[in-house]
């Protein structure tokens, strides 16, 4: 049920003809209250799609009653026509739901630089159709409607003492921190103040989605939204809610990693004993974005030299000649030199664990990434064809 698992939410996903496949491509999520709290984080890419520009204005008062999402077109770099399309989408939803357009977030995903009257008319018609089909069982269809190159819908639900969090996510490529790194809608029937929702969301995304770095490419359309309505009547301890929200975001982030375009290895890079958490993140990300390392993992080659070469480009505090590296539980490098034979490392499984011990402090961080494959290159070379 994903976003409709918490009480007081309805959703739907419909096929409006934006995709040539005929699959669902417009989704609507509605908060029926009693409260209409909203929080969101957006891509930090300076090149922002029209829905991002719109939604950043809408979220200022932290009141959100509905989210309209479409796949099959990013509505980015489409000029004034594109922004008008986004505005009209919000107005259409507002008219049909009898709410303010200023309380409707809009999200789009797909090819950049395309959009015409046909696109606009199909988004508007899809919005109308989805609102007509809204139900408390519509979370799964909504999750399917936001997919692009995704091979599976990505949903998660966590329930605690009388309250629930549900979420749906889309993303299989252009996964790099921004923040955030995909389209995600999260709902909860917990009773939260607006500032509490915003604080919890930023803390959760900062340790989950922001540490998913599949291919180092930041999108123009990334948005993570949290809607809270107090329908459960339960006001949770903020620390308990924040922990549950982070758990749900992590579950969705791992699902995004597992469906990354063309990937054959899901790589978890854990950096330990760093001077600061920032250093640990910088070191982990340097490896996650190193194409030589990613290509080696694709070839099942435990080439630890590429790990050291990658981390040597950072400003993190450590001695490159006193670093240990493990791959899938085997220490292949110690004190900047070889340890166990490479033949001892089995990189055949999809799950690949890399541990980097910097030996200078007690901070740590984990970065999620994938290998670089022929399939990834092929899929992205043919994306707009």
Split the chain (385 residues) into runs of 10 and give each run's mean pLDDT: 95 95 96 98 91 97 98 93 96 98 96 90 98 97 92 95 96 54 90 98 94 82 95 98 98 90 91 98 96 95 96 97 97 94 95 98 96 79 58
Distance CA 13, CA 146 (A): 8
What do you get for the CA distance between the two ends of the chain, in Å?
34
Alpha carbon dihedral 15, 16, 19, 22, in 10-degree steps, equals: 40
Task: Kindly indicate whether the domain formed by 2-258 is annotated with CATH number 3.40.50.300.
Answer: no
pTM: 0.92
pLDDT for 180 equals 42
Q: How far apart are the C-alpha atoms of 245 and 330, rounded to whole Å?
A: 33
Question: Nearest CA to 69 among 114, 127, 118?
Answer: 127
The residue with tokens 């450590």 is: 318
CA dist 383 and 380 (Å) reads: 5
Q: CATH for 266-381, among 3.40.50.2000, 3.10.20.30, 3.10.20.340, 3.20.20.70?
A: 3.10.20.340
Residue 366 known to be catalytic:
no
163, 189 contact by CB (below 8 A): yes
How far is residue 274's CA from residue 318's CA, in Å, rounded to a whole number?
Answer: 8
Q: Where are the domains of the chain?
A: 2-258, 266-381
pLDDT at 292: 95
- Look at residue 165 in the predicted model and tell me its pLDDT: 98
- Which one is catalytic: 4, 149, 181, 205? 181
DSSP for 4-73, written as a single string: GSSTTEEEEEE--SSSTT----EEEEEE--S--EEEEEE---SS--HHHHHHHHHGGG-B--EEEEE-SB
* Separation CA 329–CA 379 (nearest Å): 32
């Amino acid at each position: 049920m994903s976003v409709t698992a918490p009480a007081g939410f309805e959703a739907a996903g419909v096929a409006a003809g934006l995709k040539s496949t005929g699959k669902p491509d417009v989704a609507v999520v509605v908060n029926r209250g009693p409260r209409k709290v909203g929080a969101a984080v957006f891509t930090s890419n300076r090149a922002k799609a029209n829905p991002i520009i719109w939604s950043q204005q809408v979220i200022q008062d932290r009141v959100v009653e509905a989210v309209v999402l479409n796949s099959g077109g990013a509505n980015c770099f489409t000029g004034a026509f594109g922004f008008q399309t986004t505005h009209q989408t919000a107005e259409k939803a507002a008219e049909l739901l009898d709410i303010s357009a200023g309380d409707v977030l809009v999200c789009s995903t797909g090819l950049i630089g395309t959009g015409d009257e046909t696109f606009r008319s199909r988004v508007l018609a899809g919005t109308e159709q989805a609102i007509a089909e809204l139900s408390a069982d519509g979370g799964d269809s909504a999750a399917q409607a936001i997919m692009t190159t995704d091979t599976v819908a990505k949903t998660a639900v966590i329930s605690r003492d009388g309250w629930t969090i549900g979420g749906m996510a889309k993303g299989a490529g252009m996964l790099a921190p921004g923040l955030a790194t995909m389209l995600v809608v999260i709902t909860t029937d917990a009773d939260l103040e607006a500032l509490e929702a915003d604080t919890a969301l930023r803390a959760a995304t900062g340790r989950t989605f922001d540490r998913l770095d599949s291919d180092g490419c930041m999108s123009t359309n990334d948005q993570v939204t949290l809607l809270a309505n107090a329908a459960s009547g339960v006001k949770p301890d903020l620390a308990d809610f924040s922990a549950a929200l982070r758990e749900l975001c992590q579950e969705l982030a791992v699902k995004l990693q597992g469906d990354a375009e063309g990937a054959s290895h899901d790589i978890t890079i854990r950096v330990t004993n760093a001077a600061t958490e920032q250093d640990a993140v910088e070191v982990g990300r340097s490896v996650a974005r190193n194409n030589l390392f990613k290509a080696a993992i694709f070839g099942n080659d435990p080439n630890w030299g590429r790990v050291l070469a990658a981390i040597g480009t950072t400003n993190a505090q450590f001695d490159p000649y006193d670093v240990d590296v493990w791959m899938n539980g085997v220490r292949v490098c110690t004190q900047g030199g070889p340890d166990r034979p490479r033949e001892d490392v089995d990189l055949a499984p999809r799950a690949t664990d890399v541990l980097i011990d910097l030996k200078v402090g007690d901070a740590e961080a984990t970065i999620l990434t994938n290998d670089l494959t022929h399939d990834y290159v092929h899929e992205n070379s043919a994306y707009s064809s």
